[in-house]
Amino acid sequence: MTKIETNLTVDPAYEAVAPDDFPAMMDVERYGKRSNAFDKIISATHDHFWDPMDKKYVDFSQPFDMENEYLVDPNQNTDLKTAVADKLDEKQKIKLVNLDVQWSLSSILHGEAGALALSASLCHILKDPGAQEYAANQTREEARHVAGFTNYIKARWGKPVRVGPALGNILTELVLSPLVWKKIVGMQMLVEGLAMGAFATFYKDGRDPLMVKLMQLTMTDEAFHHKFGKIWADRTIPHINEDERNQIEDWAWHVFEVLLYNLGSPEQKKHIYAAVGLDWEWVQGAFMEALTDVKIRESMQESTNIFRVLIKTLLKAGIITSRTAGNYAAFIDMKELYAEGDRMIGDDIAEEGIKYLLQLNGQGNRAYSLDKMSAAE
């Protein structure tokens, strides 16, 4: 098995050059070779315009009682399903849950910074002018997510926490990789898929109206980013050889494990436990013990809905097959996923948000459907 060191270009819309080969961009033949694959998602960009610096869209001065109120439904917190709960009083529980939200939103902010740099890097390597225009639009949208999450974190905690090593390393690898397939599978499908699941969960379980609003506005953009990855997969995966496909499948599982570790491991969140007087190694033990209890395990699986969009995306794209489906079955009911259509959990929330934005932006009151957006022809 030779390692894939190429872009795996099957469809000319994803043809790429080395990041430093700008002369190739001035080839006179290139300009006219524009695919129509992205026209729909490009022209939809102003349907979901919003500005995180404008109070008309979102007002970051809305207060929240951080000491006495949970930012999210505490029943969804995994720590509190373990022996950790017995060690803490109500105020400490609130502190733990809210610091956990800070950790998650900081991870999302670093992910947004990664998505911004990655989309910009796609502009440097993709040759198709339509693909470049799409990537430039996404770059601009990721920049407003960076601004939006920065504003929210500033309003609630002052500043974000440092990126965990697991997430930091994977984001760096994706941004710096010259390979189109790695960028798209890693960022557009895995990181964006996980983010979409996280946004949907915060939207549903959030108790801070400001946070809920920020989630919905962000999702109106993210639903399209997810479609860009889907278009690539539909046009690439069925046409590559088995060895290449297997390598992509194995690499996707590797990235999933890294993201999971960042999210769930007590070691990555030492500072949170220290803040409520707990030792992270003791917490790790409490987790291990909780996992042996079937009831607790089931309720944890319920709250890992966050992985649903991501696993479903990979499955529908042909990146998860029977080779690795068993690995993911610990997190999600795979049989149920096989039977489902293409619609994603976040799509309803995004569509509602777009309807709201169309009105706010003076573009009228009309129904909106994301379903046709990934069809090029």
Q: How far is the CB of 54 from Fe ion (least distance, A)?
A: 18
Q: In the chain, how many H helices and how many E strands? A: 16, 0
Among 16, 84, 105, 115, binds Fe ion (CB under 5 A): 115
Tell me which residue has tokens 């995004």. 350
The count of chain residues that interact with Fe ion, using the rule CB under 5 A, is 7
141 or 208: CB nearest Fe ion: 141
What residue type is 41 in one-letter code?
A: I
- CA atoms of 370 and 373, how far apart (whole Å): 5
Tokens linked to 131: 């693909």
Complex with Fe ion: residue 188 or 304, whichever CB lies closer: 188
Contact 118, 174 (CB under 8 A): yes
Residues 6+ apart with CB under 8 A from 81: 290, 296, 299, 300
Nearer to Fe ion (CB atom), residue 128 or residue 192: 192
CB of 368 vs Fe ion, minimal distance in Å = 19
Least CB distance to Fe ion at residue 224 (A): 8
The residues in 260-319 that bind Fe ion, with binding defined as CB under 5 A, are none
226 versus 245: smaller Cβ distance to Fe ion: 226
The position carrying tokens 């003791």 is: 282
Question: Residue 341 in contact with residue 236, Cβ under 8 Å?
Answer: no
For residue 188, the minimal CB distance to Fe ion (Å) is 8
Binding mask 214-233 for Fe ion (x = CB under 5 A): --------x--x--------
Binding mask 132-171 for Fe ion (x = CB under 5 A): ----------x--x--------------------------
Give the shortest CB-208-to-Fe ion separation in angstroms: 20
CA–CA distances in Å: residue 219 to residues 81, 178, 200, 225, 251: 29, 28, 8, 10, 26
CA atoms within a 13 Å half-sphere pointing along the CA-CB vector of 204: 15
Give the footprint of Fe ion on residues 187-216 (CB under 5 A): 192
**How far is residue 108's CA from residue 148's CA, in Å, rounded to a whole number?**
11
Q: Which amino acid, one-letter code, is at 249?
A: E
Judged by beta carbon, residue 228 or residue 256, the one nearer Fe ion is 228
Query: Least distance from C-beta 259 to Fe ion, angstroms?
Result: 15
Whose Cβ is closer to Fe ion: residue 134's or residue 331's?
A: 134
- The answer to whether 346 touches 223, Cβ cutoff 8 Å, is yes
Q: How far apart are CA 107 and CA 164, in angstroms?
A: 8
Nearer to Fe ion, 225 or 308 (CB): 225
Q: Which stretch binds Fe ion (CB under 5 A): 15-23, 70-78, 108-116, 304-312?
A: 108-116
Nearer to Fe ion, 77 or 137 (CB): 137
Q: Which residues sit opposite 72 in a β-bridge?
A: 206
Name the DSSP letter for residue 20: T
Shortest CB 198 distance to Fe ion, Å = 11
81 binds Fe ion (CB under 5 A): no
For residue 357, give every residue at least 6 positions away whose Cβ sits within 8 Å of its Cβ, in sequence order, or none. Answer: 47, 48, 49, 50, 57, 217, 220
Part of the chain binding Fe ion (CB under 5 A), chosen from 54-62, 78-86, 111-119, 288-296: 111-119
Residues lying near Fe ion in the complex (CB under 5 A): 112, 115, 142, 145, 192, 222, 225
